Structure 1
């Protein structure tokens, strides 16, 4: 609910916070962690008294790991997970496709990391607590009332004691059955697939290597296998609607699906955490409701085929985190959240379309259409372009905000563009950077700490005039920016603060043909590309996301 009336500041308000996060799953924990890294102390609650014990989501994609790298979370997850280099699909015993992440994913993480959701939550929770955060479990959101400058909420603890809280921002990270979504009246629209799924964990007895993931199709039936760190496998079974069993999932039912779809001779044992469900494809019509934002499954749910759910939610949190921090710190207007709503709503919409198509394609039942799929798929999926597109999409490296109001391009007519597909709004690519007198180049990503914007200034040589002009112009933004002049030539210097791109590899990846600027957002996406070096486009961008008087922006 929302009203334009100002709240009555009464004794009923027992505590206050800048940000109240509802839901301490991987999405809420990620958001809390990103705010804490920026000096914001959010309040984080979850209605469950204990962390989730079942495995739920499993795969962590390359883009998610990239975003979790600066904080050290990715490194810890990698030590706990199984690296799956490829995903294969078979129909009636014949291989239709094998998508090779190890060959086609351009990332430090060229694989799908199989690590159960409880392990992801455990690592994130420890990082939250290490930064001084606290997770309040057994605390439920009962009601909320919005005002122009905040939200009044009623919380109830496991002991029944209620607390009235005032928060400037309320963030719903409370999953598919979100109380926050319900209380703000968000419309959750979509459709339910006419398909029944069963899932769980089993120990598989076969001769297949322990890092292989694959799906087996047979006349409209579907079973997929994903390795887990403890030697078990996650299985997902899909049924024709008329053949879907009811009641508890049994080992006999699992074995029947294995025998029907393959691989031949495989046997399952020791089933744990079994669940049956229908697939929903739904998304809210709005991600932001005045002082309330919806994140993760609270905003979108979809088919499990593709393993995108947890990853998309975590990336929602990264997108929202840096923007919300700037607003809470008083550096940016609340309208900055409009870009969160537009950017992530577009991603959610694309995700629903893609997972819906994959699900329909995998569960085809008509013999003629199935035969056509099985005949065409092996040829198509061997094409390098198809491999690159599929793996980049699955790894979520292809997520882009090109149409965002925060994406800006500037190029003078005399500047000849490089032949590159990269545009402002795309994920910032990694590349080699030589630091000081180092004999070997390091990684650009090592310079991205994920908490500030990064400005790359590409220069042919150490142009002191251009550097001083920029530094003078950007002096008021020193709390916002990490600035790195990237020189094409590497003089004989012992400076450890100089950065070089002697072969021009990094400049080429960013489409810089001569000299220019690249501005990278805290969540690792290009927000500005300018050729040549000029301050006006940069000032205009910074003015769109901050409180800056128009008179300070050149040529406005």
Structure 2
């Protein structure tokens, strides 16, 4: 069948799952109209991914999406692990996660996709369902693709950038010839959504281990629970999952006396640990499960993919707009490849710890883990990792620290490349309390100028006038509140500056995806100019992005 040729698009997104929808939404917020195709004719009702982590919710806050998710999901304040009926660990997000979202939100993937799709449509996006990518050819200025529609019609199209968000069996990954390095684990898993009958709080999430077997419980909206069962390789059942099978797993692992009923979704699967060798292939970019798959232990998969999309969106938008060089996308590859590598290693280790079945290894684990996990530093490190707040880009080419000759760097709670922490800020002469995150809209770079005197910040703002289309600039005045103006911002006790490691005066540049690009002590324009030179388009040397 001959293929009809249609007009070009700057960005073609293949896959309308959480990653593709997040990328489409973030591009639309920046004025880029991508084309979004999905081979399935209707949105999937497979609940699959469940947990929405703290960092993902923070990134979804400026658009209002996080609020809608929280209203529909279940807040899980902690996660407990038991072995042979004895508690090994309790990881408390409420007390150890420094965020407005100090919990894990459980929300079935279809609900997440529905909320994201609604926002995409509201911004003028169109999700073309029943359209499948069947071939692509890389060219100097972009990619030529062949698409097949549900009626069998084939279409030939061109796009400057093609982004594969099409999951673990990605056709995009296959067509570019990316190597998917890794292995398939021997463990077999069964999962389902069921109604539990027990005397357990409705927001309780926990796992029960017993000699190499595991069952975990996660509350979901509507009074149901997601159960996840792991078997030793030699004990794994086959065929369709039954209610009796789930009940046998509960009776074997716990909790004692719990009963199950009303299954609504059941699935059996094995775990793969794989990642691609490259995330960017000329004008093709891989995102989410198309680039990395791993154990579901820890609930990191969907969140990591969505954060791939947040990292990519602002960079791709600037490239498409001609404000930044294509080289900027190299930072997407380097930053997210490292995150993917660490993710596969970390989830693999957690899986092996949970599913070990040799008696001596289990005894050692059950003796050591309770003592280690009671340590405050371990609690903070584990919960921050699960909440995805510990992700950082300290070694990124976009990250820099600057300290003047008379300024000592000293110890800082954060470094350039880390997630930008939230903190209190006083707004205007009315002394209205506010939060820094209220100033981050996710579209532009934000420059914080910490200064004692208003005049110092004003002088710097004047030098930044050529960048005003790409930057939001906030003078954060130290000391006593000024008597002028409603748009002034204050840090009277220096607590916000302390969170950013600014001892006296300095600059903090925050990227659109909420990570610190630059810290400078003292206030200086030179490091800002170097940063912008790094990412600006060679064809437009005066252009500065944000």
Q: TM-score range by the shorter chain?
A: over 0.9
Paired with 2:321 and 2:510, the residues of 1 have a C-alpha distance of 20
Instruction: Pick one of 9, 13, 24 that aligns with 1:17.
Output: 9
Equivalent in the alignment of 1:27: 19
Equivalent in the alignment of 1:7: none
Equivalent in the alignment of 1:208: 200
Instruction: Pick one of 43, 47, 50 that aligns with 1:51.
Output: 43
The answer to whether residue 458 in structure 2 is matched with residue 467 in structure 1 is yes
Paired with 1:372 and 1:285, the residues of 2 have a C-alpha distance of 36
The answer to whether residue 310 in structure 2 is matched with residue 289 in structure 1 is no
The answer to whether residue 331 in structure 2 is matched with residue 339 in structure 1 is yes
Instruction: Pick one of 494, 505, 523 that aligns with 2:513.
Output: 523
Which digits, 9 at most, give the CA deviation of each residue in 1:167-194, with x for residues without a partner?
0000000000001000111000101111
Equivalent in the alignment of 1:195: 187
Q: Aligned pair in 2 of structure 1 residues 178, 412: CA closer, same or farther (>3 Å)?
A: same
Instruction: Pick one of 82, 89, 99 that aligns with 2:81.
Output: 89
The answer to whether residue 443 in structure 2 is matched with residue 451 in structure 1 is yes
Equivalent in the alignment of 1:423: 415
Equivalent in the alignment of 1:504: 494
Which digits, 9 at most, give the CA deviation of each residue in 1:63-117, with x for residues without a partner?
0000000000000000000000000000000000000000000000000000111
TM superposition shift of 1:271: 1.2
Paired with 1:285 and 1:370, the residues of 2 have a C-alpha distance of 35
Equivalent in the alignment of 1:359: 351
TM superposition shift of 1:275: 0.7
Instruction: Pick one of 29, 33, 38 that aligns with 1:41.
Output: 33
Q: CA contact under 8 A between 1:191 and 1:281: conserved in structure 2?
A: yes
Alignment of 1:400-411 (within 5 A): 400-411=392-403
Q: CA contact under 8 A between 1:418 and 1:512: conserved in structure 2?
A: no
Unaligned runs of 5+ in 2: none
Q: CA contact under 8 A between 2:429 and 2:481: conserved in structure 1?
A: no
Q: CA contact under 8 A between 1:455 and 1:519: conserved in structure 2?
A: yes
Paired with 1:507 and 1:385, the residues of 2 have a C-alpha distance of 23
Instruction: Pick one of 377, 385, 390 that aligns with 2:377.
Output: 385
Which digits, 9 at most, give the CA deviation of each residue in 1:458-488, with x for residues without a partner?
0012124x532x2343222111100001100
TM superposition shift of 1:423: 0.6
Alignment length, in residue pairs? 542
Paired with 1:12 and 1:262, the residues of 2 have a C-alpha distance of 59
Q: CA contact under 8 A between 1:456 and 1:518: conserved in structure 2?
A: yes
TM superposition shift of 1:437: 1.7
Equivalent in the alignment of 1:112: 104
Which digits, 9 at most, give the CA deviation of each residue in 1:490-536, with x for residues without a partner?
43424111110010001001010111100000000000000101101
Paired with 1:270 and 1:492, the residues of 2 have a C-alpha distance of 63
TM superposition shift of 1:412: 1.4
TM superposition shift of 1:548: 5.7
Q: CA contact under 8 A between 1:22 and 1:44: conserved in structure 2?
A: yes
Alignment of 1:44-443 (within 5 A): 44-443=36-435
Q: CA contact under 8 A between 1:199 and 1:236: conserved in structure 2?
A: yes
Q: Which of 487-496 and 514-523 deviates more? A: 487-496
Q: Secondary structure at the match of 2:313?
A: helix
Q: Secondary structure at the match of 2:255?
A: coil
RMSD: 1.5
Q: CA contact under 8 A between 2:392 and 2:419: conserved in structure 1?
A: yes
Q: CA contact under 8 A between 2:4 and 2:154: conserved in structure 1?
A: no
The answer to whether residue 525 in structure 2 is matched with residue 543 in structure 1 is no
Paired with 2:165 and 2:264, the residues of 1 have a C-alpha distance of 27
Equivalent in the alignment of 1:8: none
Equivalent in the alignment of 1:493: 483
TM superposition shift of 1:162: 1.0
Q: Secondary structure at the match of 1:441?
A: strand
Paired with 2:394 and 2:540, the residues of 1 have a C-alpha distance of 25
Q: Secondary structure at the match of 1:258?
A: helix
Paired with 1:477 and 1:491, the residues of 2 have a C-alpha distance of 28
Paired with 2:12 and 2:278, the residues of 1 have a C-alpha distance of 19
TM superposition shift of 1:441: 2.1
Paired with 1:486 and 1:76, the residues of 2 have a C-alpha distance of 31
Q: Aligned pair in 2 of structure 1 residues 123, 478: CA closer, same or farther (>3 Å)?
A: same
Instruction: Pick one of 520, 523, 528 that aligns with 1:533.
Output: 523
Q: CA contact under 8 A between 1:197 and 1:237: conserved in structure 2?
A: yes
Paired with 2:391 and 2:521, the residues of 1 have a C-alpha distance of 24
Unaligned runs of 5+ in 1: 1-10
Q: Aligned pair in 2 of structure 1 residues 148, 195: CA closer, same or farther (>3 Å)?
A: same
Stretches (4+) displaced over 6 A: 549-553
Q: Aligned pair in 2 of structure 1 residues 82, 500: CA closer, same or farther (>3 Å)?
A: same
Which TM-score applies when normalising by structure 2? 0.97
